[in-house]
Structure 1
Amino acid sequence: MLGDHPDLIIGVNGSVARREATTGSDVDLFVLTLSGNIEAARRAQAAHRGRLTELGVKMPAPGGVFEVPLPTEQLTGTIGGEDDTNTFITRRMLYLLEGEWVANQHGFDRLRSDLVARYVPEDLNAQKIVRFFLNDVIRYWRTICVDFEHKTSDATKPRAIRLVKLRLSRMLLYVAGIAAVRETVGLDAVAKREKLALLLAMPPLDRLSHIYGPEKMVPVRALYATFLASIDDTTVRRQLEQPGTAGLDTPEFGDLADLSRDFKAALLALLSMEPGGDPLMVALLL
């Protein structure tokens, strides 16, 4: 189906990319074009999505940041500045922090390496952290948090399910990003780039396991598995998806709120921070 389109990179974000799809998960496909031929990319995307829909695969709702095909230079050429909108930040960070290839693995990996190279200048001292990338990961996390408040200010939008996902899957993505940055300290610029590219090619949970070891990840994985099982339960999900704040008053949300606090504590422990430490420092991080 895709062999006739060597110009395209097709990837996926979301739960499928993170290897944690549940019942009802959609497939957040995205299409990038190396040549910039958007019309050809649109036709290929429509054909690909149409075929998947025929097979019963659920496509994402309209309006996502990757709804239309994009030229690859749009990801690499707009980092910072007034043109770097929330949409650009989100596209770039989703690609780096959780993106996975579907077609054209070589092109996908090359684009990831090109993006990483933008963040790691050739003259970066070995003892310095990759602050440029770290700041962009932090900016993305704060953008998600602010957008959550904006989107749920609409009384018709379900707050409970969005809050649960923010505190668990989105927080995991953030921590896995900053943990990767920490691993670059002590490496020269070339090695920093290689290390970041290697780590970012892994799903978030696997990335953290690679960095901290399987034993330290046992609490994190157990709590996250409980979260995934909960949102895969149609009864629980129905309660969380009630409009406005109605879902916040349910026992199902209460259980997941408790779980999210334990999850945050487990992530802080990975980062060698005390859950009960300076509240300002904890808030600045998570």
Structure 2
Amino acid sequence: MGVIDDRRNYSLRRMGELKQELSPAQKIAARKACVFASGSFGRLEASDHSDLDPCIVALSDASGKSKLSLLQEIRLKSEIISSVERLSLPEIDGDGKYLGKFTSHGLVNEIGSPIDDSDNTFTTRLLMLLEARPIVGEDIFNTIKKEIVEAYWVDFDRYKNKFIPAYFTNDIIRLWRTFCINYEARTRKLTGDLRIKKKVKNYKLKHSRILTCYSAIIYLLSIYKLKNTVTQEDAMEMCSLTPLERLFSLRDRDRLKDSRGAVENLINMYENFLEMSGQDPAVLEKQIQDNEGYKREDYRFGQEMFSAINIIGSGNEFHRLVVV
């Protein structure tokens, strides 16, 4: 069993334990909200060193107001924090400041709006679609995901025989650019030991975040290549898969044999990344500082993803949209 299977099994086991611990949270959120995990747990590639990245999304009433009251939100967050402590998982990142609450109205109706970025609904929406797993309120989680996809596919009926998901794809690309900009803004002035931590963040960014965003894009490109259109059902299927599962799906399709080599390379390179990044943080920092086993794999991974995009896209209209 390789590191990919090990990480997946660990993630599923810990997520199962977390769901059991969150039984009281299920009652608080019942018919009102869901909680999902993004990050390494959402991608099913967590290790002993991985922290949980939870997020609460509440259903909205007819006026757009959250059905989850403020007191219920506080109780729900308390249950999440306590469950993480009881399971001896690493402390939630950022002292809990990223443990936000959003509404279904905001995630659906703020698409493309001026406040999409400032409210952080943009990043939350895309992570919910591309790398999230529900830990409370799975039915609500799936309902909200479907509403978001339908909002991106609003023009499908007009172009259903040759629909290119331009709206959605542009936002996925924007998410990758946002990750890059945020990384630069937070780390560009770091020096000394903090600069080594910056290199570690960069190493992880250029693997996990590239995979999250571009596994979705090459998956959608493959659907368009095979069907000359992309339906809402295709998008929902893509969103139900982890980033690695998208690669496995592409690798195993007989009609995409020309891209199999590039996709297999991506899987192997990502497995190497998981093996290296799963080490004790201090060991990983030293390896990257000494440049042992590092040697710019992040750039090679990006180059291989570029190759896969070009092979699968084959210069068609959707491929052109991704590039320009």
Using the size of structure 1 for normalisation, the TM-score is 0.83
Counterpart contact for 1:42–1:68, Cα < 8 Å: no
- Within 5 Å, which residues of 2 pair with 1:72-87? 72-85=104-117, 87=120
Deviation of 1:119 after TM superposition, in Å, equals 0.5
**2-side partners of 1:226 and 1:194: how far apart?**
33
Indicate conservation of the 8 Å contact 1:38/1:69, yes or no: no
Give me the whole-angstrom Cα distance separating, in 1, the residues matched to 2:80 and 2:187. Answer: 33
Counterpart selection for 2:100 from 26, 47, 68 = 68
Quick check: 1:20 aligned with 2:20? Answer: no
Partner of 1:89: 122
More off after superposition, 230-239 vs 191-200: 230-239
SS of aligned partner of 1:155: coil
Q: CA deviation at 1:260?
A: 2.0
Task: Show the 5 A alignment for 1:1-286.
Answer: 1=23, 2-4=25-27, 5-6=29-30, 7-35=32-60, 36=66, 37-39=68-70, 40-62=72-94, 66-85=98-117, 87-121=120-154, 122-125=156-159, 126-156=161-191, 157=194, 158-185=197-224, 186=227, 192-213=231-252, 216=261, 217-234=263-280, 235-239=282-286, 249-252=289-292, 255-273=293-311
In 1, the alpha carbon distance for the partners of 2:309 and 2:97 equals 31
Q: Report the CA distance shift for 1:46/1:139 in structure 2 as closer, same or farther (over 3 A).
A: same
Question: Any conservation in 2 of the 1:65–1:91 contact (CA below 8 Å)?
Answer: no
Give the root-mean-square deviation of aligned CA atoms: 2.6
Return structure 1 stretches of 4+ with deviation > 6 angstroms. none
**Which whole-Å CA distance do the structure 1 matches of 2:189 and 2:237 have between them?**
40
Q: 1:24 is aligned with what amino acid?
A: H
Contact 1:28 1:59 in 2 (8 A): no
The alignment partner of 1:116 has SS state of helix
Aligned partners of 1:160, 1:193: CA distance in 2, in Å? Answer: 38
Cα distance in 1 for residues equivalent to 2:182 and 2:283:
24
Amino acid at match of 2:136: A
Counterpart CA distance in 2 for 1:225 and 1:155 is 29
Residues 148-201 of structure 1 show CA distances to partners (whole Å, capped at 9, x for unaligned) of: 11111231543201110121111111211212332453466xx61011011111
- Assess, with a 3 A threshold, how the Cα gap between structure 1 residues 187 and 101 changes in structure 2: closer, same or farther: farther
SS in 1 for 2:26: coil
**Deviations 1:188-221, CA, capped at 9 Å, x for gaps:** 6xx6101101111100010122134285433222
Moved more, 11-20 or 65-74: 65-74
Q: Which sits farther off after the overlay, 104-113 or 44-53? A: 44-53
Q: Give the deviation of 1:265 after TM superposition.
A: 3.2
- Report how many aligned residue pairs link the two structures: 266
Which runs of no fewer than 5 residues in structure 2 stay unpaired?
A: 1-22, 61-65, 254-259, 313-318
In 2, the alpha carbon distance for the partners of 1:161 and 1:19 equals 20
Q: Is the 8 A contact 2:57 2:101 kept in 1?
A: yes
Q: CA deviation at 1:53?
A: 0.9
CA contact 2:53–2:99 (8 Å) conserved in 1: no
Counterparts of 2:233 and 2:96, CA distance in 1: 30
Q: Distance in 2 between matches of 1:63 and 1:134?
A: 33
- What percentage of residue pairs aligned between the two structures are identical? 21
Going from structure 1 to structure 2, the CA distance change for 1:164 and 1:66 (only over 3 Å counts) comes to same
Q: Per the alignment, in what secondary structure is the counterpart of residue 269 of structure 1?
A: helix
**1:27-83 C-alpha deviation (Å, 9 max, x unpaired):** 111122224124112212212321331221223223677412222222112111211
The CA distance in 1 between the partners of 2:33 and 2:50, in whole Å, is: 24
Q: Which has the higher helix share?
A: 2
Q: Separation in 1 of the partners of 2:55 and 2:172?
A: 21
Aligned to 1:244: none
Q: Is the 8 A contact 2:52 2:92 kept in 1?
A: yes
Unaligned runs of 5+ in 1: 241-246, 275-280
